[in-house]
Amino acid sequence: SSLGAEDQVLTDMICKINKNVNIFTLDTGRLFPETYNLIAKTSELYDKKIKVYFPDHKKVEEMVEEKGINHFYKSVENRERCCYLRKKEPLKRAFKGLEAWICGLRRDQSITRFDNQLVEWDEQHGLFKINPLIDWTEDQVWDYIRKYNVPYNELHDQGFPSIGCQPCTRAVLPGEDVRAGRWWWEQPEKKECGLHNRPEKK
């Protein structure tokens, strides 16, 4: 779970259906305070342990020592390396022994997610990916949250429709894409951390 609005909807659904389903999240070390608060609030409300995976601190220390604390602003390569160490590598550990994962992707979130399917083979990680909300609209997500009083990140009320690491996320302007605030200094087609990358079409 990213603790985003969509993933909070899924957490609510899962806890109502089968609490034996494992829920985990990734702590990159650079999340917003509001995100940490939401992890604790969600776990307490649903009486459900949320497993937290962390990056390898030695590798992160080496990267920061070599590149600088905010090196990811300088190039796509630097940013992708940071995302790899802080997110992709911990995710690989989280996936060990799993046959499928459930996530809150929606097609209308960005151009990089338009081709995702309800159930698809995640070639990158070697397991199935299930996207129950793939055809949901943003309005449907928030209708569910309001109807069932699902806890959500306070930053959503401050113009942050998509929330990631604090240095790499800003509020969006009226009319902007919902993911415009993520890695806002990069081109739209590059705006993925790598967790949901799909093979290029040939």
pLDDT, tens digit (0-9, with 9 covering 90-100), for 117-146? 999 999 999 999 999 999 999 999 999 999
Q: For the chain, which ranges sit under pLDDT 70?
A: 189-202
Separation between Cα atoms, residue 45 and residue 42, nearest integer Å: 5
Helices (H) and strands (E) in the chain, counts: 6, 5
Block residue for tokens 């649903």: 46
Sorted by where each begins, the domain ranges of the chain are 5-190
pLDDT, tens digit (0-9, with 9 covering 90-100), for 25-51? 999 999 999 999 999 999 999 999 999
pLDDT score of 115? 81
Q: Is the dihedral of CA 86, 91, 94, 97 positive or negative?
A: negative
pLDDT score of 195? 53
C-alpha angle 43/5/123, rounded to 5°? 95
- What are the backbone dihedrals phi and psi of residue 128, each rounded to the nearest 5 degrees, phi first? -80, 145
Amino acid at 151: P
Amino acid at 95: F
pLDDT score of 191? 53
Block residue for tokens 């299930």: 130
Q: Which residues are catalytic?
A: 193
pLDDT score of 202? 43
Its CATH class, for the domain covering 5-190, is alpha beta
